[in-house]
Structure 1
Amino acid sequence: MFKKAAFGLCLLILTCTAVWSGTLTPEQRDARETGIRLYNQYKAISATPFLETAAQAGDAEAQYYLGEALRKNNRFMTHESHKWLEAAANQGHIYAMIRLGRSGNDLCAVMGNCPSGSKSPGDWLRHAYRVALPLAEQGDPEAMFLMYKITLDTDWRAKAAEAGYALAQYGEAISIKQGRGFYLFGNRKKAVEKWFKGSAEGGYPLSMQYYQVILAERDDWEGVRYWQYKAAETGHADSIYTLGAYLSHEPEGAGHKLDLVKGYGLISLLLELDGGGWLLTTVEETLPLVAAKMTPEQIEQALKFAEEWKATHPPVSYFPDKLSIY
């Protein structure tokens, strides 16, 4: 499903190759995946105890997400969040290094109570640079993107995009769409489409959504439907809702044939968000409208379809930016 990266689950440099202090047991691995799933559903508080299980076992990715969950729960860098981010960074986790490097701009800096660590924020950014640069020079697309995050030099993002890193391609498309660079006539639109299409093909659901708009503008409804399915198949919460609503004709759109069983089943998957993010209220309003068109047997079939989908697709996620600015 994903060609270049499985966003939020297994990033090329870190999740798959970071040095851990020990091998996780199956229970600890399950706890890590559950914690990351909940975090990606904007349920950082619920994620914390699961992430703690794997973080305490020495898993760098769990340590990073635990540090981020604690930071977001408190709205600034606490001593506890700093401790876990530093534990991950000391194992070579570049995302953690960058987050620590940005902590000089954190709310705690304004409050004057930032945790003291083994390195200053500037030291951590310089360390991240030294770790990421050789990987980027060797052609690793994610490392190129991380060099952009470290330096804010858009040339690195462009290199990562050219190397096929879907998140960098999305960033290029958005930046060009907003006016960056000089383009003649319709070349700006062509460049935007190029990067959204490449990113969509690389598996990034937000680009799939933008690319659908481009296809709709040229009345390519078959293409729109194709990418609506593809985006939903990534686990992207908004895309699951969109596809389910159109299949249920709530509202009609994009030329989808009415399929109440699949539509209800897809929308029902989002009930697990139970307060995480912004979709639950809409889901709770839409499901009764769809159910009113269905027989009890169809609803039972829809719930079975939902269970089968859940077993064969990635977990529901909002796909938050792993290095968000807040």
Structure 2
Amino acid sequence: MESYTPTFIIFSGKTKPLTSIRKTLIRALLYIAVINDAYAELTTEQEAAKTRGVTLYNQYKATSATPFLSIAAEAGDHEAQYYLGESLRRKNHYMNPEARKWYEASAAQGDLYAMIQLGRSEKDLCQISNDCPSDQKQPIEWLNQAQHLAKPKAEQGDAEAMFIMYQLTIDQGWLEKSANAGDAVAQYWMAIGEQEGNGVFLLPWKRSESITKWLKASSEGGYPKAMMAYVAVLYKEGDMEGVRHWLEEAAKTGDQNAVSTYGAYLTHTPDKVGYPLDLVKGYGLVSLLKELDGGGSARDYLEVKLPEIEEKMTPEQISKANEFAKKWKLTHPPLSFFPEKLSH
């Protein structure tokens, strides 16, 4: 077998292998294509594919999400490109070339989340095999670029940019600024941080008051995880009216934990917060978890919970419950685990 000897040419006074030049040209062409498509609007079909892909991703079905996200990603949608990169990375448990390609396409359009994930890529396949392209940006370069873009927005009062600055710097000051500016996710993490001991409070109940304040604000901002945490606080305080209100509101967002809990309490399996018995609605809600196809611990829960509720019901009630479930799906967001957008 003949040994392979790369062909070299002179380029800008430096010697580079021809294969490297080809890679550089291909990357440049891809970048130009992405920029040209940056502001292209998705067709109805492409938008539907993106929505379906993100829904599946949020249900921990990264493999199933990939073909749907690919449709919108190839059409130039930076958010679909980001979630496609996420799906491919999570499926393979490392940053493989295909995942990196889509993160870079998204980052080329200014997507800060994509830049951060590229900057956090500790498990990059090319680093493991020691064959990363010479022109590939280093992680720190991506993080610096993200900070360069986010900081001016944050200084102008953009709440999400402030939260991104917190992600980039782990500076608690940015998190608090974002929370005070109204970012619901930042408000939730302020509460979680204070629960874990962050912040200085001279009086113990002041810490509890602050945690409750942040969870309430985040819940009012529509963040499902905060709603469920707020429900736990209200339950501990004995505010059953508040518990019933916020558990129902969380269920309306599609949070799978809220939907299953709300359904169980409506059917009094168990009766813990004082909802009037409603077997039809409760069974219908719990049955919705079937669409998670075993995501998380949903299957184990259903195998126990549905038979327990069915014992209280007539066949007619079960039929009505199934009809209720169909109507709920048409009028409410799909079930979701609501994973953090910047996953690890």
CA distance in 2, matches of 1:313, 1:140: 29
- Give 2:137's aligned residue: 119
Partner SS state of residue 141, structure 2: helix
Partner SS state of residue 183, structure 1: coil
CA distance in 2, matches of 1:53, 1:234: 26
- Give 1:319's aligned residue: 338
Equivalent residue in structure 1 for 2:112, among 88, 94, 109: 94
Give runs of aligned pairs for residues 158-169 of structure 1, distance below 5 A: 158-169=176-187
Instruction: Say yes or no: does 1:50 pair with 2:76.
Output: no
- Residue 236 of structure 1 contacts residue 317 of structure 1 at CA under 8 Å; is this kept in 2? yes
- Residue 82 of structure 1 contacts residue 115 of structure 1 at CA under 8 Å; is this kept in 2? no
TM-score, normalised with respect to structure 1: 0.90
Give runs of aligned pairs for residues 122-201 of structure 1, distance below 5 A: 122-185=140-203, 186-201=205-220
Instruction: Say yes or no: does 1:288 pair with 2:307.
Output: yes
Instruction: Say yes or no: does 1:63 pair with 2:81.
Output: yes
- Residue 216 of structure 2 contacts residue 230 of structure 2 at CA under 8 Å; is this kept in 1? yes
Give runs of aligned pairs for residues 16-27 of structure 1, distance below 5 A: 20-27=38-45
Give CA-to-partner distance per residue, 1:62-117, whole Å, 9 cap, x none. Answer: 110000000000001000000000000001111001100111x2364873558546
Equivalent residue in structure 2 for 1:215, among 214, 234, 238: 234
Shift of 1:218: 2.0
Shift of 1:119: 2.0
Equivalent residue in structure 2 for 1:250, among 269, 276, 280: 269
* RCO comparison, higher one (Cα < 8 Å, 6+): 1
- Residue 56 of structure 2 contacts residue 62 of structure 2 at CA under 8 Å; is this kept in 1? yes
Equivalent residue in structure 2 for 1:31, among 41, 45, 49: 49
CA distance in 2, matches of 1:102, 1:109: 15
Task: Report percent identity of matched pairs.
Answer: 53
CA distance in 1, matches of 2:132, 2:240: 53
Partner SS state of residue 189, structure 2: helix
The count of aligned residue pairs is 306
Cα distance change, pair 114–127 in 1 and its aligned pair in 2 (3 A)? farther
Instruction: Say yes or no: does 1:271 pair with 2:295.
Output: no
TM-score, normalised with respect to structure 2: 0.86
Partner SS state of residue 71, structure 2: helix
Give CA-to-partner distance per residue, 1:6-56, whole Å, 9 cap, x none. Answer: xxxxxxxxxxxxx83522111111111000000000000110111111111
- Unpaired runs of 5+ residues, structure 1, are 1-18
CA distance in 2, matches of 1:107, 1:26: 35
Cα distance change, pair 115–233 in 1 and its aligned pair in 2 (3 A)? farther
User: Could you say which structure has the larger radius of gyration?
Assistant: 2
Equivalent residue in structure 1 for 2:123, among 106, 109, 132: 106
Cα distance change, pair 279–115 in 1 and its aligned pair in 2 (3 A)? farther
